[in-house]
Amino acid sequence: MSGSLYDVVYVIDASLSMGKGVGDFRPSKLKAVVETVANDASYRVKSLQARVGLVAFYGLAFPILPLTGNLELVIRSLSLLENTGEGSAPGDALIEAAKLLRGSIRKKSIILITDGDLNMGAPIELAALYAYNNNVETCIITIGGSKDRVKIRNQLDFLSSAGIIHWVHAPSRGEMIRTLKQCLGA
């Protein structure tokens, strides 16, 4: 990836369950994700000239930052993310992220980070297929606990084996950092 320009949209789970700490995701899963994404976005913008967008979700999905190379704006937007509400609609969030990438002529990518639930909104399979059919590479990272406890594991296994997404479970913060570096070939 380092030889080509690309756009990446980070999709971050801001549901109430992300407000809890687990393992080394402290003080909460959301705070650990925000800090890690800020570092990853900084690298991608500074070193790879990537443009970055942000989508947050709980029971609803919200595009909060259109594609930009303004790292200060990215960091500020990330720092304002809080646990917002109940429910989890990662499918809706994937669709919103793909929409942010619609006009891009660069390589298009989405990195979605969640603690792995789906109880609202569009089915993840249809949303992932929408992104795939719009030439968007999608990496989904589930965090915390055991891979066996990820509630949408069957859907993610199916999508990953079909080559529609790349799915990695990161039980620790260190594994999440390693996975982010591998996603999209950074």
Most confident of 77-86, 126-135, 143-152: 126-135
pLDDT of residue 2: 44
Residue 23: Cβ within 10 Å count:
14
**Considering the domain boundaries, does residue 93 fall inside one?**
yes
- Asked if the structure places residue 124 within a domain, the reply is yes
Residue pair 49/4 in contact by the 8 Å Cβ criterion = no
When pLDDT is cut at 50, 70 and 90, the band that residue 1 belongs to is: very low
Residue 175 lies in a domain: yes
> Which residues touch 148 (CB under 8 Å, ≥6 apart)?
none
Q: How many CB atoms lie within 10 A of CB 14?
A: 25
Show the tokens assigned to 128: 């992932």
- Report residue 3 as tokens: 């030889």
Q: What angle do CA 1, 89, 135 make, to 5 degrees?
A: 30
In a domain, 1, yes or no: no
- 101 assigned to some structural domain: yes
Count of the separate structural domains present in the chain: 1
145: containing domain:
6-185
- Model pLDDT for residues 79-106, shown as the tens digit of each residue: 999 988 888 999 999 999 999 999 999 9
Domain-embedded: residue 168: yes
Backbone dihedral region of 154: left (phi > 0), alpha (psi from -120 to 50 degrees) or beta? alpha
Q: What's the predicted TM-score (pTM) here? A: 0.94
CATH, residue 57 = 3.40.50.410
- Which of these, 109, 39, 104, lies nearest to 74 by C-alpha position? 39
Q: Which tokens in the block code for residue 107?
A: 């390589």
